[in-house]
Amino acid sequence: MEHLWSPWRYRYIVTPDRAEGCVLCRVQELSKEAENYVVYRGALNYVILNLFPYTSGHLMIVPYAHTASLAATDEATTAEMMALAKRAQTALEAEYHPDGFNIGMNLGRSAGAGIAEHLNLHVVPRWAGDANFVSIIGETRVLPEDLATTYEKLKKHFP
């Protein structure tokens, strides 16, 4: 599926330090939060904007530990993932007033995981009609908001 408008994509592709290794491991080691759209750093997980959002406000909760398996992830980490998903829901409700949410994980490439080697929990706000005719017919999505704007809106909900 192609995006009609994704100006950040170019930088994402050309940034040299993302050229090798696990992207989700590399992001957590970088210090420039705003440039990498890290909204919050918890004890065991961080919260980041999805660089290719399904809808505006699409967040991911990512364990610091590099693992592909939910089953193998320790209890403290998964408990914090859920706590952060709840905070994300609260933040998104305050800023975007969605009609609903998809909150979940894609485990493995065959399940649609974009980054299969590193566990991540998606929090996607949904609106009635957001799976619009452009998406269905044209395999193309129109993104209504740039990531820097989304970042500014959500960052303040994670003090």
Using CB under 5 A, list all residues that contact Zn ion: 22, 24-25, 66, 118
Name the residue nearer to Zn ion (CB basis): 60 or 91.
60
Instruction: Please tell me the distance from the alpha carbon of residue 137 to that of residue 2, in angstroms, as a whole number.
Output: 12
CB of 39 to Zn ion, least distance (A): 18
CB of 76 to Zn ion, least distance (A): 18
Name the residue nearer to Zn ion (CB basis): 30 or 142.
30
Instruction: Please tell me the distance from the alpha carbon of residue 146 to that of residue 153, in angstroms, as a whole number.
Output: 11
User: What six digits make up the tokens of 26?
Assistant: 């590399």
CB of 119 to Zn ion, least distance (A): 9
Name the residue nearer to Zn ion (CB basis): 7 or 21.
21
Name the residue nearer to Zn ion (CB basis): 66 or 126.
66
Instruction: Please tell me the distance from the alpha carbon of residue 57 to that of residue 65, in angstroms, as a whole number.
Output: 24
CB of 86 to Zn ion, least distance (A): 24
